[in-house]
Chains A and B, each alone.
Chain A
């Protein structure tokens, strides 16, 4: 059976499993209808011109996972940023693992989407926030909405600060021959609050996994949200990550995406600025090889005046890897004095690697400063020679240059332990040990 048909028929079974709250029920039914009409996106859609889902949709994914055995923390410790104290929301095959998690309701809410969807006391939150940002047009976001049941819920009330970073980790155990996961996260940072979040998807075996995740983030006035996505999954894991961010005046949201692993990764990152003096940051480092495919599809919608956005994506592509960058900046005519910056720099290491990039500007206001730049090139031979003439072996010299290339993005990581962790991942990926931290 085709995946689309399977999902459509599973929806009825799914509806019977979840408590039918009439409000969410309507949203789900609406969403599945949209998915039924549109189906999975194909290369004919302009937004999917360079990324084909055909290959990964061929697998016979289980839509509902069997209960997996509990995981031992020692075995999976390495997938956490474990040398800092943090809240943890951990899911195993899409189900919440209380034993690995550390949640809280003390002043702030760091808990589960399922309890928010089911408990009456959260009803207002659901009505005010749930599915308010996620695109109702996009078929993949709709699919997630239809099956939304579990995920992370984070609510930082006014003037509060999350004392430690929050880690959201999704494990897949390989209990199923092939598994499809659809986590749904809701993050609300009220006025003048502060939160740091690290998100990671990790499969523990090489069984195929397809994750179609939706995250909605609401940043209130003067709120500060610092979000990190670490994508270093096994070779058969694919991820479609849809993130929607709504910012109010004077807020600051920054999101870093580190894509090193997985078979196919598609990041749909959307920022909507509702207020003045907003700062939005989108940064990413992509280092991939083999036949991996990473696609960054970003949107920054400048709606009101005096806002800024900074985009900086770096990519290093070797072997038969494919990189796609599609960055879109829209400046509405009211959004005067906007300062939008977009950069996409790429290194091509092998003959079989491909880069498709489309940095796109749509500007309707005249008093703005919008720039974008995009480069594709190679490592500087004279710089390599310089280092080699000083006794640095070629491999290390190359790695050093690549580090330097990616450093702009790494520099702005605000959690030192995470930075260290990512440096290690990069060193692993490049197969060198440089012996110092950047």
Chain B
């Protein structure tokens, strides 16, 4: 390579097409478009849900009808028409498989092209996969090992049927139906998702993992995840997503609720690489997700996210530090390219004494994208000795993109110690020059710098996921990450 400059990189980024954009042709069982009470009832019926769940959904639907779509975020998009979406879609061939041989070969091929080889991962990583294709789980592995420990890891519809007492007790306690427009919508129409319960004092022996994938044209994906870590338990949960190329905008409004009881620890990692739209900004997924965790005494919740996809990302994984001595963490890399927009960050609500939170957010914007960090650190008057450290760094590539920081800090207790710092910069010419001098070409140098920039967060990902994360970063910033 003669000379590789930042301009070349930018050019390459612009022209780089979404590699994972393909579409699996599986016959799907899809509902007619539109949303009304009958649809909500029909979803509930389809899932063979008990009466209380149907009522719960209908209640949420009533609340949703009274709400209006929020528009305060720093993103600009065409509002979805909620009557033009099909609210349920499930792959047709749906018997539960015991071995991979039984799985639709076309599906397996999809996974292979995504780089997720089920059998390989089973052996190498020891990851139990609850693979979700368009809302219904089709393969669950390692269930036996988990069952021995008393760990429940299944789809949420299964949990509603088999563990109603747990679901009834916890669903909607962290993200209530009334929380926001999309949370209410999700509560009414959620199709499926994962449920996880770790019993008292159990340390989950493997990383739990689910892959979400939006597949059927025009279906919104409404996932609902509920993770409960009982007293003194530990779990690490991974979530990763890719979606096929499509011109229509697809809406994804999920809810993730985490509950860490006394002395428990939950580590929740996300790699998100949904279709970001093409280089003209056409198409792409709307990712409007409500993620929130509740920490009881001495517990810890840690969110790690790598956001490289979606046309519009609008989410704030949050921690409510209710119990004394609880800890909340948030590590995030958000990469935007072309016409992507991201408004993401976290909320740390300090309620208990001696609560601690850490926020590390790295934003990389290229092309014509807009990348915003929006965060809230709230210390209530009873939260003695609360401690927060926030750091938001932005890296800009080219002068057509934007980086924005909106940190809200509200403190009502004098013993609180809050630090917030943010920087915005570009890849320094001196840094590249330094590398060039030592025989590292510009492409590698940029890769090195971007890698170094995001390292703090990448390091927080579980080993098994770090590779995947690297891969996904590569797609977004091909040529810059080595």
Contacts and interface: CB of A to CB of B under 8 A. Distances in A.
Interface in B389-442: 394, 396-426
B36 interface: no
Given A333-B400, A366-B399, A361 B414 contact: no
Interface in B216-245: none
Nearest to B424: A370
Contacts of B406: 358, 360
Contact of A376 (B396, B399, B403, B411): B411
Nearest to A352: B381
Given A348-B413, A352-B381, A363 B403 contact: yes
B77 interface: no
Interface string A335-376: 010000000001011111111111111111111111111111
A16 to B, nearest CB: 43
B417 A378 contact: yes
B404 A358 contact: no
A46 interface: yes
A361 B413 contact: no
A378 B415 contact: yes
Chain B interface SS verdict (over half): strand
B72 interface: yes
A188 B380 CA distance: 46
A435 interface: no
A364 B402 contact: yes
B409 A365 contact: no
B400 to A, nearest CB: 7
B398, B422, B424, most chain A CB atoms within 10 A: B424
Contacts of A371: 421-424
Nearest to B391: A373
Nearest to A350: B414
A364 B72 CA distance: 20
Contacts of A346: 411
B402 A362 contact: yes
A330 to B, nearest CB: 9
Given A356-B409, A365-B396, A375 B422 contact: no
A391 interface: no
Q: Is the interface of A mostly helix, strand, loop or mixed?
A: strand
B399 A364 contact: yes
Contacts of B419: 373-375, 377
B6 to A, nearest CB: 9
Interface size class on chain A is 35 or more
A358 B399 contact: no
A356 B408 contact: yes
A359 B407 contact: yes
Nearest to A365: B399
A362 B404 contact: yes
Interface string A248-290: 0000000000000000000000000000000000000000000
A360 B407 CA distance: 7
Given A363-B394, A365-B399, A366-B398, A348 B411 contact: yes
Contacts of A336: 399
Contacts of A366: 396-399, 401, 426
A354 B422 CA distance: 23
Contacts of B414: 348-351, 353, 378
A375 B424 contact: no
Contacts of A351: 381, 413-414
Contacts of B402: 362-364
B410 A368 contact: no
A361 B423 CA distance: 9
A353 B418 CA distance: 15
A46 B72 contact: yes
Contacts of A356: 408-411
Contacts of B405: 359-362, 372
Interface string B292-303: 000000000000
B423 A354 contact: no
B409 A372 contact: no
A46 B402 CA distance: 21
Contacts of A353: 412, 414
Nearest to A369: B425
Contacts of B397: 366
B404 A363 contact: yes
Nearest to A373: B421
A228 to B, nearest CB: 28
Contacts of A372: 405, 420-422
Nearest to A372: B422
Contacts of B426: 366-368
Contacts of A350: 414
B323 to A, nearest CB: 21
Contacts of A364: 399, 401-402
| Residue of B400, B414, B416, B421 with highest tally of chain A CB at under 10 A | B414
A387 B408 CA distance: 35
B396 A363 contact: yes
A355 B411 contact: yes
Interface string A29-48: 00000000000000000100
Contact of A354 (B403, B412, B417): B412
A361 B418 CA distance: 19
Interface in A168-223: none
A353 B413 CA distance: 7
Given A356-B410, A367-B426, A376 B401 contact: no
A361 B404 contact: yes
A214 B188 CA distance: 51
Given A364-B399, A365-B396, A366-B398, A375 B420 contact: yes
B192 to A, nearest CB: 37
B418 A377 contact: yes
Interface string A42-75: 0000100010000000000000000000000000
Contacts of B413: 348, 351
B399 A354 contact: no
Contacts of B424: 361, 363, 368-371
Contacts of B417: 375-378
Contacts of B415: 378
Given A350-B414, A366-B426, A372-B405, A359 B420 contact: yes
B398 A358 contact: no
A358 B409 contact: yes
Given A360-B407, A368-B396, 12 more contacts: A348-B414, A349-B414, A360-B404, A361-B422, A362-B405, A363-B396, A363-B403, A368-B424, A369-B425, A374-B407, A374-B420, A376-B411
7 contacts: A352-B412, A359-B405, A367-B399, A371-B422, A373-B420, A375-B420, A378-B415
7 A-B pairs closest in CB distance:
A366-B396, A376-B418, A348-B414, A374-B420, A361-B405, A370-B424, A366-B426
Interface of A: 46, 50, 333, 336, 346, 348-378
